[in-house]
Every structure is written in structure tokens, then in C-alpha cells.
Amino acid sequence: MDSILVTGNGPLNGQIPIAGAKNACLTLMPATLLSEEPLTLTNAPRLSDIKTMTLLLQSLGAEVSSLQDGQVLAMSSHDLISHTADYEIVRKMRASNLVLGPMLARLGQAVVSLPGGCAIGARPMDLHIEALEALGAEIELKDGYLHAQAPSGLKGAVHEMRFASVGATENMVMAATLAKGTTVLKNAAREPEIVDLVECLRKMGAQIEGEGTSTIEIQGVDRLHGATHQVVTDRIELGTYMLAPAICGGEVELLGGRLSLVGAFVEKLNAAGIDVEETDKGLKVARKNGRVTAVDVTTEPFPGFPTDLQAQMMALMCTAEGTSVLEERIFENRFMHAPELMRMGAQIDVHGGTATVTGVEGLKGAPVMATDLRASVSLILAGLAAEGETVVSRVYHLDRGYEHVVRKLEGVGAKIERIKSDG
Ligand code: EPZ
């Protein structure tokens, strides 16, 4: 398994291009299942998760071609041959469950493996099931697979979700596009990836209003047609690289960044003493003066502080002036990066969903292990600011959500390299 060697090397300066969003692309790709006509995505990120979704769609009979060095995905679901999402693929990536709604709507049936356990939490699918049952689907669990049926098609309904789940919102919105009548989804998730999905579905002929708010209304149509859609910027990759100059000092411009994607996060950076300004190419982040100031953070659904930036923010707070309290409210087990940061000299006290970080003058490089996608990049950020060498192992986690990490950070002056392993 490859690892990444990072050597603390002082302030960073320059530009980093931000790719298309993994979490938008992973819900846009299953939308191809809703139509017989081609769907083309541009600005697609080059990630192992996108390859996994490609394999899944191909296993259902969809054609998926990766063009222009992987940034364009040309897809067609004209001749689907299966309605079963196999455990062997689903267990590698939970987002595979986003084929459930589209297949049910298009084919009237779908069999999707339950994803199983995840490092950051139990992550059940009860909200997805409730939402699709509200549209008239019959769903039963058999041998680890969800068997969903809607022999006479789905019917529009008014449904309020018990929690604003991103995935359940995406599955229901996609399914409702082909349901008979009107669907009103209340307490819907408001993430930018859902807005991007709706914009794409509208280009395919769907009738939807209210994306980005808690109430989404969908008028079902008989069929959807083809379209071309540009994937929205990855706000989590954006936030991650905004933290690089914040933790090391310097000034970096994030090309393609937009303030509206990272509002709550920027508020916390400003409170910590980090300057963020919009430029005509994106966002510029600078830390000119000494240590950052400790700030408290609580993760929430959008537009609150994103849980996918909590680990990276903890890395920054490790060297802040003062004590910060980080509350993780979305996932029940998302502090596994803390003991690894403590191996680098951080002072962190974790109790349940609360981590108290007492800032130290500086971190020291050490061998550390990645446990999940966002934890892995928080260790790289900490390594950039640490004295000496840090070796982050199990970076296959990183490849799921970050393209060209070494090249992007090297481009702004970081001392970083990938160590290939034979195994
Ligand atoms: C999406 O996951 C993202 N993944 C996650 O990003 C992100 O952390 C999460 O939203 C929250 O923002 C993708 O978009 C592919 P949820 P999702 O359904 O849809 C509970 C990353 O690092 N829940 O909003 O799975 C669930 O257990 C990943 O890129 C139920 O209880 O998130 C969790 O505690 C990690 N029942 C909470 O809701 C359900 O049926 C939020 O989950 C569904 C969810």
C-alpha cells in the first residue's frame, strides 16, 4: 500500500485548481439510469470512487466512457440488462445506493445490496426506504439486499424526512421525477450537490422547484431526455486546500473556489484570524500573522459547518492559540484522526461526539495511519506544518476523494512525495 511522505517546509504560496465535486458526480452519474438518452458530465473528478460508480453502472448495462483524461463522462442507459447492484461493488462505496431511486423509477424494480458497516458511523438506509415507500414502493430486506418494487409505477406524495439526509434526498428526488403526480419533499437536505443534481435533472426535462431550500417540489413527467452538465466545484476539496496556507502560513489562490459553497467554514477561518477574499479566478486565502486563534466548531447539515471538513479543521486547531471544542453532530464515530494527530504531539481529549483541542506551539513529524478519506488528508495538512517528516500510510483512502494531491501541494511549495509500495 502506498504512503505519502510530508516534510514541514514553511509557508505555501501560489495557486491550486479545484476539481469537480466527488459527491455531486456520485449522484449525477446514477441519473443516467432515468433516461434512454445519453447524459454527458463535464468537469468530472478523476477519483477511485468515480471508477467504482462507473463499474456499477456498467454492471447494470449502462455505457460509460471516460474521455478527455477522465474529465468527461459520456453515459447512456439505453439497454439496461440488470436491476441488481451487487454487494461486491456496493461494499466498496456506500454511494452505490444512489442507483436505488433511479432504477425503481425507470424499471419499476431494483435490488440493491445494503452497504454494510462504515468507519465513521452505522449509516443505515431507513430514511431512503421511508422516502421511496412514501412514493408507493414496496421494499423488503432479503439476504442483505433491499428488494424494491413498484409494479404500477411510483406515485407522487407529500413526505417529511425525519432528518435532512443527503443521500435519501437525492434518491427521492431522482425517483419522483418519473412518478405520477406531484411530490413535495419536506425537511430536504440543502447541500450544493443536491442543487447541482436538480439543475442537471431539469436539463433532462424534469420539473423541480425549491432545491437548496428545505422543501423540494417535483412534478412527475413520463420520460426524461439526454443532456450535458458541468459538475459543480468540490467544496470539500476547496475547504481542504484553503486550510493549507492557514496551517503553514503564506498565501494561496484556489482556482474555481466560490464563497457561497463554503460560507460557514469561512466564518470560522476568519474568526481564527485567516484572511479569505474572492478573486476573479476563485478564492485567495492568507495567513500573514503568527498563530491562529482557537475557535469552536459544530458540524451541521448545509449551510452549517460541513462534517467533511471537521478532521481538517481539527488539524488547524492543533497549533492554535487557546482551546477549541469541536462537536461532531452528523456521524457518531468521526474522530479517528485524533489519536493519529496526538502521535504528532497534539493535545486532544475526545468524549463521545465532542473533542477538546488544546493548541500546542508546534507538531512533530511521525508515522501515522489514515482511517478514512477526510482523516487521511487532515494528517497530510498536519504534516505540512510539523517539524520533520510525517509518513501517512493507507493513502488508498485519500485516492477516493482527492486527485493529484502531491502535484497540487508541490505546486505551492510543499515538500511532499508519494512512496509507492510493491505490495
Ligand atoms: C453524504 O453522505 C456524503 N457522501 C458524505 O461525504 C457526507 O459526510 C454526508 O453526506 C453528510 O454531509 C456522498 O455524498 C457520497 P446522510 P450520506 O444521508 O448521503 C444518518 C465524504 O467524506 N442516516 O446525509 O450518506 C447517517 O447515518 C463523505 O465525502 C440515517 O440514519 O449522508 C448520518 O449519521 C463521507 N438513515 C446522517 O444521517 C438514513 O437512511 C447523515 O447522513 C440515511 C442517513
pLDDT tens for residues 137-159? 999 999 999 999 998 999 999 99
Cβ burial, residue 74 (10 Å; 0-12/13-18/19+): middle
**374 CA closest ligand 1 atom index:** 22
Instruction: Give yes or no for a contact between 224 and 205, defined as CB atoms under 8 angstroms apart.
Output: yes
Q: Is the CB of 265 inside a 6 Å radius of any atom of ligand 1? A: no
Cβ–ligand 1 contact at 52 (below 6 Å)? no
Dmax of the chain from CA atoms?
65
Q: How many angstroms does the Cα of residue 165 sit away from the middle of ligand 1? A: 6
Measured in degrees and rounded to the nearest 5, phi and psi for residue 118 equal -140, 150
Q: 118 catalytic, yes or no?
A: yes
Instruction: Please report the pLDDT score of residue 206 as a whole number.
Output: 98
**Residue 121 CA: which ligand 1 atom is closest?**
27
User: From CA 23, how far away is CA 232, in angstroms rounded?
Assistant: 10
pTM value is: 0.98
Q: Which of 98, 125, 166 to mutate to test the pocket of ligand 1 (most atoms within 8 A of CB)?
A: 166
- 250 CA to centre of ligand 1 in angstroms: 34
Ligand 1 proximity of 163 Cβ (cutoff 6 Å): yes
DSSP assignment string, 49-88: HHHHHHHHHHHHT-EEEEEGGGTEEEEE-TT----EE-HH
d(CA 384, CA 406): 12
| Closest CA to ligand 1's atom 9 | 166
pLDDT < 70 stretches in the chain? 422-423
Alpha-carbon 51 to chain mean position: 15
* Cβ–Cβ under 8 Å, residues 245 and 286: yes
Predicted pLDDT at 121: 85
3-class SS of residue 192: helix
Task: Centre a 10 Å sphere on the Cβ of residue 361 and count the other Cβ atoms it contains.
Answer: 8
Q: Whose CA is nearest to atom 37 of ligand 1?
A: 330
